[in-house]
Amino acid sequence: MTTERDDGGPAFPSLERVGEIVQVAHEGMSLRAYYLGKVVPALIAHLGPHRVEKDVEELPDVALKLADMMIKALRR
């Protein structure tokens, strides 16, 4: 059984108007991917190079958890 993860939807959707209807023409990257792009450099800066080198295997999991928590906070 797989559960679909909430990726937050599109971070920068491109809209187009077709008559009276406005629709998403291109969704772009997900909000989750955008947050990951912001979280990873911040984690590296916060932890410092020696700690990152030591804990490099855990960094992706921590970044994903932070991104998911940010999306969850938006849904409140």
Spatial contact of 59 and 42, defined as CB atoms under 8 Å apart: no
User: What is the rounded distance in angstroms from the CA atom of residue 37 to the CA atom of residue 48?
Assistant: 17
Length of the chain counted residue by residue: 76
Q: What's the pLDDT score for residue 2? A: 55
Q: What's the pLDDT score for residue 55? A: 80
Domain boundaries, the chain: 14-75
Asked whether the whole model's pTM tops 0.75, one would answer no
Q: Model confidence at 53, in pLDDT bands (50, 70, 90)? A: confident
Residue bearing tokens 């990951």: 36
What does residue 24 show for φ and ψ, rounded to 5 degrees?
Answer: -75, 120
5-37 pLDDT tens trace: 888 888 888 888 888 988 887 778 899 999 999
